[in-house]
Structure 1
Amino acid sequence: MREEEIIEKLQRLGLTKYESIAYITLLKLGPSKATDITKESGIPHTRVYDVLSSLHRKGFVDVMQGTPRLYKPVNPEVVLERIKEDIVQDIEALKKAFLELYREVHGEELPEIWTIQGFDNTVERAEYVIRSAKHEVLINTPIEFLELLKNEIKGRKDVVFVIISNFDDIPSWLRADNILLARSGGAPWLMASWIIGDIDYALFFGALPKDKRREKFYSFWAKSPKIIQNYMHWFYTIYFDNSEVIKPINYENLSKPLSLVNIRTLITVLRFAGLPRKAEIVGRLVDTKELIEIDGEIVDYEYTPLTANVTFRYNGKELKVGGIGSYFEDVEGEKFILLD
């Protein structure tokens, strides 16, 4: 990364341009006098002490007392991790504040589905779904749109991807162990796009726009576990089950424990991993809604367009475990953790 880009990113984190230059200079020089920092960085001598004092207040610089006084850069990993924690806390606080504000003004909860206008905004939302996922990402989209998500997909080695597209061949950047690829059945309607992250966020849109219509492009953004659970069901039964797997995940090379939240993703993984598999399941008893966490083995599964469940051997007995919304099974599974 070029130094100009680093300065720009530091400014986005709240540093001024001079503060960014001073911190980079200290990383190069190590503990230094103010005069040395001025000489190396070009920051005016009349400004350098104010700049260094501000960096000290913001936690980027330690002051080493003595004659002469030295300024030492704080380890970048320590600084950036603290900033990340602060940003995440601020974002979560803002989410709650905005929800409360909306509720106070409108007397109701935020809508479960939003309309997104503009193709570039849709790309940004798709990238956000991938960045924010903790367990799995399901994608059904033409290769032209998939390529726009290349960097985000390459950056996530810690989630399972199930990707359906109109592949001619397999790009090298999609050959990672955690990615399962399927070639679309080919019917035009199969290429409507879905990008689903866990049960938290989902994005849906139809045909890709022509350049002149990018600003008039619309997509739909959902944040509702009940709705997204239906989307996941359609993803598998309409799209995945009518497609050809051309690259399975490499289960043995994935880090364990491996957590998933969709029963059909779990079964898809088990098809390639084999049975039995030691696992942990977090969910609720269907009859009583009691929260349970159980350790045992997955020994079988059932997968049809209407039903999807696993047989879980636990304390000498067998339980049927389904996904969110289960009512025929014994357990409504909310998280499935494969241990081996």
Structure 2
Amino acid sequence: MRKEDAVEELERIGFSAYEAQTYATLVEYDSVPLTVLASESSVPRSRVYDVVSSLDAQGHVETFTRDGKRHARADDPTEILDQLRRTGQTLAETADHIEDEWQQSDFQEHSLTLLDNGIGGAIAQIRADVRAAENLVEVVTTEANYFQLRSALRDACESDVVVRVTLEQASNLGTVQCQPVSELRAHRIPSPFLVIVDRTSVWMAPHPTASDDYVVTLNSESIAYIFHWFFLAGRWAGSEPLFVRDYADFTTYVDIIEFIRDVEPLLGSGLPIPVVVDGTDTTSGTHRRVSGTVVDIEYPDGPSGSNGRPTYADLAGMKTVTVDAGAEAVRVGGRGAVAEDVELRRLAVALPLEQFVDLCYEGAT
């Protein structure tokens, strides 16, 4: 059944036009920011908040705030299914459609689904997931699939999401300096297709030369962390830089490992490294911003590299950055931090980009 038919039948049991559009869209997702919901449901942005509040009051949806953004998700549809099925066979088909979407949604928390129609069959869902990103998108792909994702990657990047892409080949990009991503690199090793969204949602498919044609999609922070390490150490670290977006006065990091690798050799120079850290307070679970100067970096055994720059293996265990915030020293950890004060989501070095790059070059030499 088409989504338009489901909307029409929902209106028949009492939903307004906007409520039907919104609910029929929500059952396709686990949760979605209201700004994304407006574009996906064709409900005017100025009305989507009122419509969701109405559905919430009726008990059909739940709303919550995540990282400062209002989200919504469909509640258990049992009551609506009963209403639809009581109206006759036509509405029963609508109920089946909504039930299928609810049970089979690729975005159910901790879900794992095997899609057997390949990347082409999943590309619309992948684009929607990328557009709903809030902090970070990591991609390993071929040029052909990169071009299919470009519009969604551009939308995410324009929403202040860090988008990092490494391509197996880079021969048809034209002007590399005009790419719609935060950073673009090229690698030479045949690789599976991989998209990681906010280190929670994962899409993976075999290399195009493989005999199998499927997509695995899952939603699990713990499993996504394994794929992130593959992305970081297995592909990103050895890739050739092609393009870096102009960050103006700030150099942005989304991973504490890469920050430590760049800054550790500079600490002995005596030059203060001012930073702004956005993350999650590990005690309260709320957003926390810390501004100050890096005064210490801790990890087991110290750097094994001859130039004082730690390797990825050096940083595989616990690592902590201490920031002097004036009134207190704040300990910042990476993803999943529990012993530190703040779990890092994003860190900006508050130095002009060229000056910081020059410092990193001097530290490396």
TM bin, normalised by shorter chain, reads 0.5 to 0.7
Query: Which deviations, in whole Å up to 9, do the C-alpha atoms of 1:125-172 show, x marking residues without a partner?
Result: 321221110122111111111111122223331222110002126444
Q: Which residue of 1 aligns with 2:323?
A: 312
Closer/same/farther in 2, CA of residues 321 and 312 from structure 1, 3 Å limit: same
Q: Which residue of 1 aligns with 2:116?
A: 117
Structure 1 contact 236–264 (Cα < 8 Å) conserved: no
Distance (whole Å) between structure 2 residues aligned to residue 298 and residue 226 of structure 1: 31
Q: Is residue 126 of structure 2 the alignment partner of residue 126 of structure 1?
A: yes
Closer/same/farther in 2, CA of residues 126 and 294 from structure 1, 3 Å limit: closer
Closer/same/farther in 2, CA of residues 205 and 244 from structure 1, 3 Å limit: same
1:315 is paired with a residue whose SS is coil
Flag structure 2 segments of 5+ consecutive residues without an equivalent.
Answer: 9-15, 21-38, 64-71, 79-98, 265-270, 298-308, 351-365
Structure 1 contact 325–332 (Cα < 8 Å) conserved: no
Q: Which amino acid aligns with 1:280?
A: V
5 Å matches for 1:82-101?
82-85=46-49, 86=51, 90=61, 94-97=73-76
Q: Is residue 228 of structure 2 the alignment partner of residue 263 of structure 1?
A: no
Structure 1 contact 140–194 (Cα < 8 Å) conserved: yes
Q: Is residue 275 of structure 2 the alignment partner of residue 296 of structure 1?
A: no
1:252 is paired with a residue whose SS is coil
Please tell me whether Structure 1 or Structure 2 has the larger radius of gyration of its CA atoms.
Answer: 1
Q: Which residue of 2 aligns with 1:25?
A: none
Closer/same/farther in 2, CA of residues 137 and 294 from structure 1, 3 Å limit: closer
Q: Which residue of 2 aligns with 1:247?
A: 243
Query: TM (normalized to structure 1)?
Result: 0.58
Distance (whole Å) between structure 2 residues aligned to residue 195 and residue 298 of structure 1: 34
5 Å matches for 1:219-234?
219-234=215-230
Q: Which residue of 1 aligns with 2:276?
A: 279
Distance (whole Å) between structure 2 residues aligned to residue 270 and residue 169 of structure 1: 35
Q: Which residue of 2 aligns with 1:43?
A: none
Moved more, 157-166 or 175-184: 175-184
Distance (whole Å) between structure 2 residues aligned to residue 14 and residue 95 of structure 1: 15
Distance (whole Å) between structure 2 residues aligned to residue 268 and residue 164 of structure 1: 20
Distance (whole Å) between structure 2 residues aligned to residue 319 and residue 174 of structure 1: 38
5 Å matches for 1:1-340?
80-85=44-49, 86=51, 90=61, 94-97=73-76, 111-119=110-118, 120-156=120-156, 157-158=158-159, 159-165=161-167, 166-168=169-171, 170-172=173-175, 175-176=178-179, 178-184=181-187, 186-188=188-190, 191-208=191-208, 217-252=213-248, 262-264=255-257, 276-285=273-282, 289=283, 291=285, 293-297=288-292, 299=294, 304-306=311-313, 307=315, 310-315=321-326, 318-326=329-337, 330-331=340-341, 333-336=343-346, 338=348, 340=350
Structure 2 contact 109–219 (Cα < 8 Å) conserved: no
Structure 1 contact 311–321 (Cα < 8 Å) conserved: yes
Query: Which deviations, in whole Å up to 9, do the C-alpha atoms of 1:95-143 show, x marking residues without a partner?
Result: 44279x99xx9xxx96532212212332123212211101221111111
Percent identity for Structure 1 against Structure 2: 14
Query: Which deviations, in whole Å up to 9, do the C-alpha atoms of 1:151-200 show, x marking residues without a partner?
Result: 2223331222110002126444872575201111x122xx2111111133
- The alpha carbon displacement at 1:297 in A equals 2.8
Moved more, 138-147 or 223-232: 223-232
2:291 is paired with a residue whose SS is strand
Flag structure 1 segments of 5+ consecutive residues without an equivalent.
Answer: 1-8, 16-53, 59-76
Distance (whole Å) between structure 1 residues aligned to residue 262 and residue 310 of structure 2: 12
Q: By percentage of residues, which structure has more helix?
A: 1
RMSD (CA atoms): 4.8
Distance (whole Å) between structure 2 residues aligned to residue 291 and residue 110 of structure 1: 19
Structure 1 contact 125–203 (Cα < 8 Å) conserved: no
Distance (whole Å) between structure 2 residues aligned to residue 152 and residue 336 of structure 1: 21
Q: Which amino acid aligns with 2:213?
A: F
Query: TM (normalized to structure 2)?
Result: 0.54
Closer/same/farther in 2, CA of residues 242 and 275 from structure 1, 3 Å limit: farther
2:170 is paired with a residue whose SS is coil
- The alpha carbon displacement at 1:249 in A equals 2.5
Distance (whole Å) between structure 1 residues aligned to residue 280 and residue 170 of structure 2: 37
Closer/same/farther in 2, CA of residues 192 and 172 from structure 1, 3 Å limit: same
Distance (whole Å) between structure 2 residues aligned to residue 148 and residue 174 of structure 1: 19
Distance (whole Å) between structure 1 residues aligned to residue 344 and residue 77 of structure 2: 27
Q: Which residue of 2 aligns with 1:3?
A: none
Distance (whole Å) between structure 1 residues aligned to residue 73 and residue 196 of structure 2: 24
Structure 2 contact 113–216 (Cα < 8 Å) conserved: yes
Distance (whole Å) between structure 1 residues aligned to residue 175 and residue 255 of structure 2: 27
Structure 2 contact 320–340 (Cα < 8 Å) conserved: no
Distance (whole Å) between structure 2 residues aligned to residue 83 and residue 209 of structure 1: 47
- The alpha carbon displacement at 1:309 in A equals 5.2
- The alpha carbon displacement at 1:277 in A equals 3.8
Query: Which deviations, in whole Å up to 9, do the C-alpha atoms of 1:189-228 show, x marking residues without a partner?
Result: xx21111111331111112279xx8xx7311111112221
Structure 1 contact 177–253 (Cα < 8 Å) conserved: no
Equivalent pairs counted in the alignment come to: 255
